[in-house]
Structure 1
Amino acid sequence: MSPNVRRAFLRVFLDDLPGVRVTDNSPNRKRNLLKTVPGLLISAFFLWYTFKNIHPSDFRTVRLGHPAWIVGVLGFTLASYTLRCVRWTRMMLPTGAGFGVCARVLMTSLAANNILPLRIGDIMRVFTYAGDLGASPSVILSTVILEKLLDIFVLVLLFVSTMGAGVSAHFKMLAEITLGISTGGLLVLIFGARLLIEPLRSLFAKLPQSALVEKIDHWVFLALDCIRQIGIVGSVQLLVYSGVIWFCEGMIFVSAARLLGLVTDQIGPWQAVSATNLSYLIPSSPGGIGTFEMAAKTSLMSHGAEASQAAVFGLVLHAWLLISVTGAGGILFLIHRFKIDNHKPLLVEIETLPVELP
Structure 2
Amino acid sequence: MKATQMARITLGLVFASFFIWLIAKQVNFAELSSVLANTNPEWIFAALVAFCCGYACRIARWRKMLLQDSPTLSFKNCAGPLLASFAVNNVLPFRSGDVMRAFAFNRQLKTSSGIVLASLFVERLLDLLMVLLMLGAALTMFHLDFERFAGVGSMMLISLSLLIILVLLFPRLFTPLIRVLNRIIIKLSPGFGYKLAVEINKGLNTLLHLAKKGTMLKLILWSCAAWLSEGMLFWCVAMALLPAIELTQAAWLALPVGTLATLIPGTPGYIGTFDYFTIKAMTSLGNTTAASTAYALLVHALLWLPPTLTGGLYLLANNIQKPRIKNEYDT
Common topology (TM > 0.5)? yes
Residue of structure 2 equivalent to 1:332: 314
Matches within 5 A, 1:202-281: 210-211=184-185, 224-230=204-210, 231-261=212-242, 262-281=244-263
Structure 1 runs of 4+ aligned residues shifted over 4 Å read: 30-35, 164-168, 170-173, 203-207, 212-215, 217-224
Aligned to 1:286, the other structure's residue is in SS state: coil
Q: TM-score, normalised by structure 2?
A: 0.84
Question: For the residues of structure 1 that align with 2:297 and 2:312, how far apart are their CA atoms?
Answer: 22
**1:32 CA displacement:** 5.4
Answer yes or no: is 1:143 the counterpart of 2:119: yes
- Closer, same or farther in 2 for the Cα pair 1:275/1:31, shift >3 Å? closer
Amino acid of the residue matched to residue 155 of structure 1? V
Answer yes or no: is 1:183 the counterpart of 2:161: yes
CA RMSD of aligned residues (A): 3.1
**1:213 CA displacement:** 11
- Closer, same or farther in 2 for the Cα pair 1:80/1:298, shift >3 Å? same
Deviations 1:289-326 (A, max 9, x none): 10111111010111111112111210122122211110
Structure 2: stretches of 5+ with no match in the other structure: none
Count of paired positions? 317
Residue of structure 1 equivalent to 2:105: 129
**1:88 CA displacement:** 0.6
Answer yes or no: is 1:41 the counterpart of 2:14: yes
**1:56 CA displacement:** 2.0
- Closer, same or farther in 2 for the Cα pair 1:63/1:175, shift >3 Å? farther
Say if 2:13 and 2:266, in contact at 8 Å, map to a contact too.
yes
- Closer, same or farther in 2 for the Cα pair 1:291/1:212, shift >3 Å? farther
Question: For the residues of structure 2 that align with 1:76 and 1:204, how far apart are their CA atoms?
Answer: 39
Question: For the residues of structure 2 that align with 1:179 and 1:31, how far apart are their CA atoms?
Answer: 31
Question: For the residues of structure 1 that align with 2:186 and 2:68, how far apart are their CA atoms?
Answer: 29
Amino acid of the residue matched to residue 130 of structure 2? V
Deviations 1:244-302 (A, max 9, x none): 11110010011111112242435310111111111111110000110111111010111
Aligned to 2:274, the other structure's residue is in SS state: helix
Aligned to 1:350, the other structure's residue is in SS state: coil
Matches within 5 A, 1:1-358: 27=1, 35-61=8-34, 62-96=36-70, 97-163=73-139, 164-165=142-143, 167=145, 169=147, 174=152, 176-193=154-171, 196=173, 200-201=175-176, 210-211=184-185, 224-230=204-210, 231-261=212-242, 262-337=244-319, 346=321, 349-351=322-324, 353-356=326-329
Say if 2:59 and 2:78, in contact at 8 Å, map to a contact too.
yes
Amino acid of the residue matched to residue 75 of structure 2? F
**1:137 CA displacement:** 1.4
Aligned to 2:13, the other structure's residue is in SS state: helix
Question: For the residues of structure 2 that align with 1:66 and 1:160, how far apart are their CA atoms?
Answer: 30
Amino acid of the residue matched to residue 161 of structure 2? T
Say if 1:127 and 1:353, in contact at 8 Å, map to a contact too.
no
Deviations 1:193-251 (A, max 9, x none): 46x37xx54x77899x6349998x96986654223223221111000110111110010
- Closer, same or farther in 2 for the Cα pair 1:167/1:51, shift >3 Å? farther
Question: For the residues of structure 1 that align with 2:185 and 2:160, how far apart are their CA atoms?
Answer: 28
Q: TM-score, normalised by structure 1?
A: 0.78
- Closer, same or farther in 2 for the Cα pair 1:205/1:70, shift >3 Å? closer
Say if 1:146 and 1:223, in contact at 8 Å, map to a contact too.
no
**1:113 CA displacement:** 0.3
Question: For the residues of structure 1 that align with 2:4 and 2:214, how far apart are their CA atoms?
Answer: 47
Structure 1: stretches of 5+ with no match in the other structure: 1-26
Amino acid of the residue matched to residue 179 of structure 1? L
Say if 1:189 and 1:224, in contact at 8 Å, map to a contact too.
no
Residue of structure 2 equivalent to 1:15: none
Question: For the residues of structure 2 that align with 1:320 and 1:47, how far apart are their CA atoms?
Answer: 19
Aligned to 1:281, the other structure's residue is in SS state: coil
Question: For the residues of structure 2 that align with 1:171 and 1:357, how far apart are their CA atoms?
Answer: 49
- Closer, same or farther in 2 for the Cα pair 1:32/1:189, shift >3 Å? closer
Amino acid of the residue matched to residue 117 of structure 1? P
**1:332 CA displacement:** 1.9
Deviations 1:151-171 (A, max 9, x none): 000101111111255546355
Question: For the residues of structure 1 that align with 2:186 and 2:143, how far apart are their CA atoms?
Answer: 44
Amino acid of the residue matched to residue 316 of structure 2? L
Question: For the residues of structure 1 that align with 2:84 and 2:179, how far apart are their CA atoms?
Answer: 39
Amino acid of the residue matched to residue 187 of structure 1? I
Amino acid of the residue matched to residue 122 of structure 1? D
Question: For the residues of structure 1 that align with 2:239 and 2:187, how far apart are their CA atoms?
Answer: 52
